[in-house]
Each structure stands twice: as structure tokens, then as C-alpha cells.
Structure 1
């Protein structure tokens, strides 16, 4: 038997060791004179029993018991507490803290010590078995046996806690309820065994759509629930719901049978749609009923305005997908002016979408393109058109115009971006140094290995990297230091509202001074008034763009007004 003896008194330790040697027990004793030394031995070795003195220097025995019971080790150990005190309240306190027995040192004898050890180890084994049984019963009480998901009871309790926590924050919480459309037909046609397999495989697919920090539960039958916490926008809930609907498009094969599964989903938001779990459940259930009534295989928000917002995004995504496929989107170009000469240095390519007479702002469809994954296809189309256009102008008119192209943060994770850009440069014979790739500070906040590698590969192609929207992000200086940025574009929102706008003027001065010290090129955006141009001249900003010079124009207009005449 491996025993850890923790006692600061040498005489008492010798007494215990002599007594143990007289017993019939085969023991190996490791000694410690402080709580910290005892804990160190415990973490490095496996013990069957700890004999622990109550009164120790600096930290007493009960403190050691508390730490021992919170240790992550799988091997648990029985504890016998020893003390010179005969106080019964102290003995009870030690037992309550987690010791299995209590010995008064003056009563230590071979029979008494041997009996205490045997009683403590036996009692501890019984406690451990009881705890394991409790854990199994708790798991059975809280887990759905068919799918392994939390059951209705655990979900209800967890949702109440999540709502309580959410009340203390400014975030939103979403409750998504969904069930399988026509599940009764599957059970009636193929039998309950097939129905059970269908539920299990549906759960597996749904789990692939989740990040892992959501609470996903089976409420009973074919009804499920998901809680999404700490949301800054309800769009996250619609994205998760859409992923689930999409992942179930492919049929589920059970044996030789392909079964098509669709789901109807209802979403309620805390605190918008209710302040209690009961209210959220009721409203999510109403929304799910509405989804079924509208034709199934879809989702519905409880609140009408939220639903309208979601449906609007769905329509835009569908139309955008078609627009990319049929090449309906058009690039406009805004001249970038060399300030000291007034000549056009190059252009920024800006996407425009006129859909059946309705002009959609990029602010409306670019976020949807990013969320839906369409941004990669759209971005490659923009790169292709922009490179082709500026190459034609340069070759036709003997120019060396630059072209600035905006790159989304999602594109920086696209494995084919660098390859496609390289191919485009070779295809159109365009010098890489004439291509400026504009990256926002927000994109650099998601600094993953993939993003960093892509940025360095773009730089290695010879293209110039521009930090867009400078001054509006979170850590501009660190970005200028850590990434191969050669151009900084001062955001238009920083331009002074008037010649008396001292605050914005000082801000632009400060940013310009800092960037100049770093020896980087500066482009000022949003030049809309003469006083903007004068400020930029005073600060020796090399290039500018904005409505004061020209708004973005179609390719043909730019060629006539700015390319041919230069």
C-alpha cells in the first residue's frame, strides 16, 4: 500500500511509521512536512492513502483536502486526518471536508491505526462507487438515449441559465426550434427502426453545421432545439438555420433507401421576443408553425420585421448568385489623382449592380456575398475584369495606369486567390507593381496563418498592398509594422466637415505625419470640397480621390474623359 504521510512533527511521523511497521500491512511511505510538499508528492505519484496532520505551518490539513478534491487526477485517494485535539466538532469538520476518518494522535496504536486505514479505504471505495452511480443516473436523466444529445429537462434548465446570463449583457440569444417534415410518414412507411436511424444521421449532419459551443438538444420525437448565445446580430441565427437546411438537401441513405429530409425551423430572440424561457419557447413554436404553413423546408423568425429582413437577404443572395453567373454586375472606376500635377495616376475598381432598374449599393450586397461564400467568385470576376481593362488602356494608349482592387477578408482565405491573380497578370501582361490590393483593417484583425501566408504571397508577386479605411480600425500601427503594407488610404470619414473643423483637421495631420515617418505612400479618399484638396496639398499627400475630382464612372466614360486625354 502506497501511503503519503504529511506531518510537520518528526516525532509524530516516527510514531506513525513504527506503528505501521507493527501491522500486517505492507506499506511504502512517502513523507512530507508541509501542505505544499504533500501536494507536490501527490501530483507526481499515486497513493492509496494519505495520513494528514490537521495543524500544519502556514496552511492546515483541511486546506490540503480541499485542494486534493479539486485535483484533475483520475486516481482518487482515501484520507485519514490526524490531530492532537480531541474536539469532536473538528473531527466532523474534517469529515465534511472530504476525509474518510479522523484519528486522535494520543490514541494511535497498531490496531486502531490499521482499523482506521482499512475503514477509510473501504469507505472511500464505496463513496466512489456511489458517485459513479450518481453520474450514470444523472446522465440518464439528462441525455437522450437515442441521439446522445441533451434531453428536454437539461435543455430547459440550461436555457434558463443562458437567459439569466444574457440579461447581464448587451448581446442577443436565439432559440431555434425545428422538426423533421413528414417524419410520421417515414415511420409509417419504413418502420420505427429506420426512423430512429434517420434521426441519428440527421443529428450528425446538424452537428456538422455547429461550432460546438451551442446547446443542441432533442426535445422528444423528431423535435429539436438549439440555443445560440452571445450574438451581436440576429444574422448569426439565420446563417446557422440556413446551414442546417442546406446540409440536409442531399438524401440520407439507410440501407438501400434514400430518404429526403427537410426541416421547418422557428426562431425567437431574447430579449426581443420574450424575457423568459417559456415565452421564447412559445414564440419559437409559433414561428415554426408559420414555417410549416408557408410550405415547409424553411425557417421563420417570430418577429415580422426580422422575418422580412431575413427574406430580403435571401432574395438578394439568390439574385446575386444569378447576377454573378450571368455577368450582370459592372465595374465602375474612380480616378486616383496625383495631387501636385493634377494627372490621373490610376483608378480604383468599384463593383456596381443594377438589378432590373434598381441600383443596389455595395453596402447592401457585399456583406451578403461574404456570408454566403459568393464573395470568392465575385472577387475573382472583379480581378479578371479590372486587370483586363487597365491592361487594355495601358497597351492601347502607352500608359502605366495603376489599378486598385478591394480584397475581402474572406478572399484572403481563398486558396486559389494568389494563383488566379498570378494567372491574370501573365494573361494580360500587366506589371505586378501597377496592381494595388486594398485590404481593410478589419480583415487583418482575423490574422490567421492562412491570411498571413496569403498576404505575403500577394506581396511576393510584386503587387502593392494598401491598408484601406485607415484610422477607423483598432490597431493600425501594429498592422503597418507586421504586414508588408506600402500604401495607406486615409478613410473619407476623417475628412473635415469644414475649414473650421479643427478636430478632424488635427486627426488627418497626425495620421499623415505618422505614415510619412514610416515612409509609406498616402492616398486620401473622400475629397469632396476645395478645402479637402487644399488640406491634402498642405500635408503633401501624394494621391487623392473623391467626388471633387470625379465620382466612379463606367468603363466607357472613364476611357473618354480620363484615359484618352491624359
Structure 2
């Protein structure tokens, strides 16, 4: 067979088939005779600066055996996409050497071979990307589930613990070093994780600062110790700075209740969420009580929007009473969720709604209901008292919240003086700035405001000075002692005196005993709210109380 025919066969076979070590021997069979080929070995390596720099070379036998410890007769180098370099090592029969013309013509063959090999390798990268996280080169969720699936089929999965872990404050690292260097720090962290794993273990990167892992049970303590603090470094101003990256983890000890590999992530993830948001611990193992709590939280998240649309929330009113006259002088609107026959109280659902950024819609719903009640009293000729509505600190970031509150009040055609907006004091400087702006906007709109749970924060005195509020509500903790003493009296008397001098009214919450009202009268606080007078009640019951106007002293 002449060279032209050999070359034609070579090109045709490569064009019809994907380049692999199985197909190239037949493509090169005829040409090998023309060039006395014994072996062609492709070595794929990564150029300096590539994300995979330092990883082992990939050796692909394209024709003949791979010689051990023998220098090639010739070699050709080609650069490929992804900062890959392919070196083609050529081994010839006997002591054969090419002429200059043969060398030039074979370089054309290498160019064609390289084109097809690059296509093959790029296809491999695409397939690999299905299972590899692009930044850290760790397996992604798909790679993790594929690995777990094999263990599941081999019935070895119960030898492992499943981990889900989230890096603590990695956003601060990125802000400190910049996004580009932050990515490099993440790669260094991932490398340390990879180095810990044995061949039959896996750590996967789910994206962002979330990871999952399957580690053999007898190495669990070692892995938890590793997660407590991994030493890496970041480069800033051309200098290396040490960084310790810690993680919060959830651990699921795999047992026979596992039905499919996806539960490895969901169960460990549930424990991680519990460790981070409930237990405030570095790690938590899955247990039944935690599963129940997290399941309840998930139900609340998933059902909230539907419940709001279906009017499952009921607004109760708790009277505020002047202890001197017994007169009802106001009320606080409080939400109750009637969920499938069960009454949920704010302490159960509000923190979850705050965490998920949903609480503003509930606060505005309560405001609308309060305005609806006031409008009803106005139409019926029932004496109206101001109603206070709580707004979460998480709402303060909404730019037009104050304007929306005013609009809702005006839409119901009621005087703005009958609505009071309550917020809880804060020690956070960022939140204090937002709160001051929010309260000032409401004041400028002639809407009364109150600080709830006064005295529980770290900056109560500056709150009196800085926040433009009409009312402070003394937290129940100030009067909860069984025996109220002289110190309690001194503290409260001075708070009340300072508030009065600043033109701020005072209400005390959580009043349950007559001796508490007597004590509060002594210190000059006459307006109270608590079970001593009434529990929060439905609007119809409150309306009856309001018609009577007074409690018996």
C-alpha cells in the first residue's frame, strides 16, 4: 500500500471514530510501516498556572506498548485548551532514524492526530464537568451521589458517616482578600480536604461554602477535628497571611433506614442546619428530636404563603391598662397561626420567618388587620384605642417600609394616631442606623412608635437618647423576681424618670400579679399589659371589653 493510501485510511478512521487507545492502533497500522513505528505514547500534563497544576500526568498509549525507562527517538509537543500540554513520544523499530523529509511529513500526521485527540479530551472534560465542581475540582453533588450509589449497591454504605458542612464566615475572607484571591483560598482549603481522604472516601463541593462527605465511621473524629480548623493562607499586598477556616457540620451515621443516596445529603444537611441555627454547636449528629424540629420548621416554611392567603392567621388583641383608673388605653395586636387544628404561637414561627426573610409580609398583614378592626370600631361608634403592631428588625432593610405602613393606614381611612409601630431595641450598629432612619420617617409621618422589650439589649440608655420614639415597653424581666427589692425599684424609677423628662411614655409588659402593679405604681409606671388583666383575645371578645372600657380595680 502506498503512502497516499495509508494516509487516507488514517484520516478516514479518525474522522469516523472517537480517538481512544482502542481505535488509534488501527488508524496508525499502515502508517507505522512507512515510518518504522514501534510505539506512540501521549503524555498529557498541565501547564504552570492551570488549576490542576501539580496533578499526575495522564499517559495514553496510541500505538504499541508503553516502553519503560526508555528515551523516545523523537517527540512532539502541542498545547491544548485548558492549559493542557500533550507530548507525543515516538519510539521506532531497531535503530531506525527518520530523514528530515520523513520528520516533516510525520509532524503533519501528529497535527491531525492532535486535533482529534484534543476533541476527545475536551469531550472528556465536558463529561467530567457533570461530576466535578469547576472551582475546587472536588466532586460536585452528581459525583458524590454516583460514588455513594456504588457503595449503596455494594452494601458497604453503612460503614460510613455522611457529613454536610458549611464554612464559617467565608464571606469575610472574600471581602478581606478580594474575590479572586478568595477563590484561590477556597482551592487551598479543598486541597487539604482531598489530602485527608482515603481512596474509598469522598469530599464533595456543592458550591459556595457548602460541602458534603462520606468518611468511614472509624475516622469520623479525625474528620471532625480537621473541620474545626484548617490552616491555609491568603495573599494580600504580595504577602502570605495565615487563615484558619472552620466549619459547622451535620453528621448522619448511616443506618438501615437509608432508602436512597440522596438522603445522605438531606439528613446530614438537616443536622448542619440544626447545629448552625438552633444548637449553636460546631457539629451535631442526626437524632429523632432534631429531625422532628427541623421537619416542623420545613413545614412552616413551605406552608406559610398558602396559610397567609387562606387567612389561617388570626389576630388577637391584648389590652394595655391604666392601673390607676382601670381604663383600657390601648392594645397590642398578636398573631396566632391556626394550622391544621393546631394553634402555633409567634415564638414558634416568627424566628423561622425572620430567618427565611418572610416576616415582613406577616407584619404588614397584622397591620392591615389592626387597621380593619379600628375602622370597624369607628363605624360602630365604639370608643377607639391605639393598637400597636410589631415589626421585626429584619424588616428594616426595606427602603419604602415606612411609606407602605402610612399608605395602609390611610387606605383604611383611620387617623394615624390610632396605630403604633413597635420594634425591638438592638445593639448592632448597622441595625441601629437603619432603625433610627425608620423611626424618624414614621415620626415625620405622625405615626407613633415604641421600643419593645426595653432593657434586654446592651444599649438601653442610648436608646432613650437616640431613638425618636413615643413609648418604651419595659421588658417583663424587670418585674419577674418573686420578691421585688430596692435595687429593682431604683433601676425602674430612674428609667421612668428619664423617659418622662425626654417626653417618652412607659408601658410595662408581663404583669401577672397585683404586687407587681403596686410596685409599678410606686416607681411611676401606671400603664401595664399582662395576664393579670387579660390574655390576648379574639377581636369580638376584645370589642366587648372595649365597650365596657374599664376593669374593676
Query: What TM-score comes out, normalization by structure 1 length?
Result: 0.53
- Give the deviation of 1:318 after TM superposition: 2.1
Instruction: List aligned pairs for 1:438-453, cutoff 5 A.
Output: 438-442=422-426, 445-447=429-431, 450-453=434-437
- Give the deviation of 1:225 after TM superposition: 4.6
Q: Name the counterpart of 1:303.
A: 285
- What secondary structure is seen at the aligned counterpart in 2 of 1:373? coil
Q: Name the counterpart of 1:474.
A: 458
Q: Name the counterpart of 2:171.
A: 211
Inter-partner Cα distance in structure 1 for 2:524 and 2:364: 35
- Give the deviation of 1:345 after TM superposition: 1.0
CA offset digits 1:194-224 (Å, max 9, x no partner): 65388567989999x9635387444669953
- What secondary structure is seen at the aligned counterpart in 1 of 2:353? helix
Question: Once structures 1 and 2 are overlaid, which stretch shifts more, 375-384 or 312-321?
Answer: 312-321
- Give the deviation of 1:558 after TM superposition: 0.7
Q: Name the counterpart of 1:293.
A: 261
- Give the deviation of 1:272 after TM superposition: 9.7
Unaligned 5+ segments in structure 2 are 1-47, 56-80, 84-119, 141-165, 175-184, 195-200, 230-246, 272-283
Inter-partner Cα distance in structure 1 for 2:528 and 2:479: 12
User: 1:379–1:407: 8 Å Cα contact kept in structure 2?
Assistant: yes
CA offset digits 1:224-263 (Å, max 9, x no partner): 3599xxxxxxxxxxxx98xx7xxxxxxxxxxxxxxxxxx9
Inter-partner Cα distance in structure 1 for 2:213 and 2:227: 18
The change in CA–CA distance for 1:480 and 1:317 in structure 2 (over 3 A counts) is same
What do you get for the CA RMSD once the two structures are aligned? 4.5
Inter-partner Cα distance in structure 1 for 2:82 and 2:297: 33
* Alignment size in residue pairs: 355
Q: Is the counterpart of residue 344 in structure 1 residue 343 in structure 2?
A: no
Query: What TM-score comes out, normalization by structure 2 length?
Result: 0.54
User: 1:266–1:291: 8 Å Cα contact kept in structure 2?
Assistant: no
- Give the deviation of 1:500 after TM superposition: 4.9
1:401 to 377, 385, 390: 385
Unaligned 5+ segments in structure 1 are 1-134, 149-186, 228-239, 245-262
1:196 to 129, 141, 146: 129
Instruction: List aligned pairs for 1:161-560, cutoff 5 A.
Output: 192-193=125-126, 195-196=128-129, 211-213=171-173, 216-217=186-187, 218=190, 223-225=203-205, 276-277=225-226, 293-295=261-263, 298=266, 299-301=269-271, 303-305=285-287, 306-442=290-426, 445-447=429-431, 450-560=434-544
User: 1:394–1:401: 8 Å Cα contact kept in structure 2?
Assistant: no
- Give the deviation of 1:514 after TM superposition: 2.6
Q: Name the counterpart of 1:22.
A: none
Inter-partner Cα distance in structure 1 for 2:221 and 2:487: 38
The change in CA–CA distance for 1:147 and 1:357 in structure 2 (over 3 A counts) is farther
User: 2:396–2:435: 8 Å Cα contact kept in structure 1?
Assistant: yes
Inter-partner Cα distance in structure 2 for 1:536 and 1:405: 24
Inter-partner Cα distance in structure 2 for 1:454 and 1:147: 52
User: 2:473–2:508: 8 Å Cα contact kept in structure 1?
Assistant: yes
User: 1:313–1:368: 8 Å Cα contact kept in structure 2?
Assistant: yes
- Give the deviation of 1:550 after TM superposition: 0.8
